[in-house]
């Protein structure tokens, strides 16, 4: 009994910060949401949300990409099958896209992915497409809150069914 306890202590000490956070979020039952944010608008928008101290749940994992047009259906499906509960793809507003047509391309990719998810028997609501500019910190926080709630509900729905 004693031995076990010390063992547990040691492993606990060894736990990296990231792991601790992971465990904590698991305890609090926040869903895991991968957010692909473009470098020029959405990532800056997320920064602004942070700097302005808008509150939003710690469920988002931001991945910065140079352009939302870089996202492929495989990125999204990989995230979803590797343990993410939801995915947000976020780019610049269509008119402001730094690479002219990246956001539009991303929209199409999301559409295709949603169709594939439907075929594969996955819930399309787990994927969300957003346009967030660098000035819209508030919107970023709202999206994060809304989507976290939606995904939490989805998870409950799924477990309820079982």
- If binding is defined by CB under 8 A, does position 81 make contact with other proteins? yes
Q: Which of 19, 20, 26, 118 binds other proteins (CB under 8 A)?
A: 118
Q: How far is the CB of 34 from other proteins (least distance, A)?
A: 15
Could you give the CA distance from residue 22 to residue 130 in angstroms, rounded to a whole number?
26
The answer to whether 110 and 89 are in contact (CB under 8 A) is yes
Q: Which of 29, 52, 74, 101 binds other proteins (CB under 8 A)?
A: 74
Q: How far is the CB of 110 from other proteins (least distance, A)?
A: 13
- Which two structure tokens, joined as six digits, stand for 122? 């996955």
Could you give the CA distance from residue 140 to residue 149 in angstroms, rounded to a whole number?
14
Q: How far is the CB of 93 from other proteins (least distance, A)?
A: 23
Provide the H-helix boundaries in 65-132.
73-81, 102-119
The answer to whether 52 and 102 are in contact (CB under 8 A) is no
- If binding is defined by CB under 8 A, does position 101 make contact with other proteins? no
Q: Give residues in contact with other proteins (CB under 8 A).
A: 72-74, 77-78, 81, 112, 115-116, 118-122
């Amino acid at each position: 009994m004693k031995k076990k306890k010390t063992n547990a202590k040691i492993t606990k000490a060894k736990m990296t910060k990231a792991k601790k956070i992971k465990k904590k979020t698991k305890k609090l039952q926040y869903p895991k949401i991968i957010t692909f944010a473009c470098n020029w608008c959405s990532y800056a928008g997320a920064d602004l949300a942070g700097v302005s101290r808008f509150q939003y749940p710690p469920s988002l994992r931001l991945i910065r990409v140079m352009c939302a047009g870089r996202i492929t259906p495989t990125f999204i499906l990989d995230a979803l099958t590797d343990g993410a509960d939801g995915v947000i793809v976020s780019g610049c507003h269509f008119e402001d896209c730094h690479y002219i047509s990246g956001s539009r391309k991303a929209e199409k990719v999301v559409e295709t992915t949603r169709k594939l998810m439907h075929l594969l028997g996955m819930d399309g609501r787990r994927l969300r497409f957003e346009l967030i500019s660098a000035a819209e910190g508030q919107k970023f926080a709202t999206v994060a809150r809304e989507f976290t709630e939606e995904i939490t509900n989805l998870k409950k729905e799924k477990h309820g069914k079982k």
